[in-house]
Amino acid sequence: MTEHLVPLAPGSLAGKTALVTGSSRGIGADTVRYFAQAGANVVINFRNKAPRAEKLAAELRELGVGALVVGADLTDPASVAAMFEAAAAEFGGLDILVLNASGGMESGMAPDYALQLNRDAQVSVLTTALPHLNAEARIVFVTSHQAHFIRTTPTMAEYEPVALSKRAGEDALRALIPTLDEKGIGFTVVSGDMIEGTITATLLERANPGAIAARRDDAGKLYNVAEFAAEVALAAVDPVPADNTRLVGDTSSFLGE
């Protein structure tokens, strides 16, 4: 955690509510922290790390904002619906939804788990959220360059199934942009390179020793968790780019789509 980073102006989100999926740790936790620093009430979502989520909520309440902790399995539609109902009961509508949770490199999961979580669940979460989103709400989908550019730039074999599933999720969400536009809801994809200190980076390094250092050498710099989370938080308040895409860090190693 890098507490000196304050990407959003204090008080700039007062009266707003933000929900970040997968926010008990890592990028999600720092993103939700930045929203709370800016005065937003926050919903912290976790799958199986309740104590960590509760600890973060207690920290953020010290800032004078509301912090609700809701466990949910994003691949279970009933669980997702219950999460949004709990958020609505606590805070009313949502102003910011960050689709941060992803996976697919975990051991012992079904062969199609990556697609279930990174494509199907993302669409389910967004569509379930729609009735609870306030006017001019913002949605941010978090991905990686390795996934965003997978059609034109191969990635390491260990990450390819995740990259393909996350790109499929991005495409499925982008197909909903006309519907979101009609409702006045902004949608931005935030794509970053490998992030130092994430679970994905750790798993990749374990499967392919030296992979992160090699990528760092190619890119010149890799963002850490706090730095990338700051970009995610900013994407929720900055104007939506014309192509709905915010690229973070070097992209010179990737061919355009």
| Beta partners for residue 247, in sequence order | 191
Query: Which residue matches tokens 């990407």?
Result: 7
Residue 145 lies in a domain: yes
Encode pLDDT of 83-105 as tens digits: 999 999 999 999 999 999 988 77
In the prediction, which pLDDT does 2 show? 43
Q: Are 199 and 28 in contact (CB under 8 A)?
A: no
Nearest Cα neighbor of 77 from 126, 39, 37 is: 126
The answer to whether position 72 is within a domain reads yes
pLDDT band of 231, cuts 50, 70, 90: very high
State the CATH number of the domain containing residue 77.
3.40.50.720
Q: Is residue 195 part of a domain?
A: yes
For 135-169, what is each residue's pLDDT tens digit?
Answer: 999 999 999 999 999 999 998 888 899 999 999 99
Q: Is residue 206 part of a domain?
A: yes
Assess whether pLDDT exceeds 80 at residue 108: no
> Do the domain assignments include residue 46?
yes
Whether residue 5 lies inside any domain: the answer is no
> Cα–Cα distances in Å, from 248 out to 2, 4, 64, 72, 232?
18, 20, 31, 29, 9
Angle at 83 between CA 77 and CA 87, to 5 degrees: 150
Angle CA 114–118–119, to nearest 5: 110
Number of domains in the chain: 1
Print the domain residue range for 79. Answer: 17-248
Provide the CB-side half-sphere exposure for 205 (13 A, CA).
15
- Whole-model pTM over 0.85: yes
Task: Tell me the C-alpha distance between 226 and 5, whole Å.
Answer: 7
Give pLDDT, residue 253.
85
Within a domain: residue 11?
Answer: no
The rounded distance, in Å, linking the Cα atoms of 215 and 76 is 35
In a domain, 175, yes or no: yes
Tokens, residue 25: 């740790």
The tens digit of pLDDT for each residue in 52-72 reads 999 999 999 999 999 999 999
Rg (CA), the chain: 17
Distance CA 121, CA 79 (A): 11
Residues 158, 142: Cα–Cα separation, whole Å: 20
| Chain mean pLDDT for the chain | 92
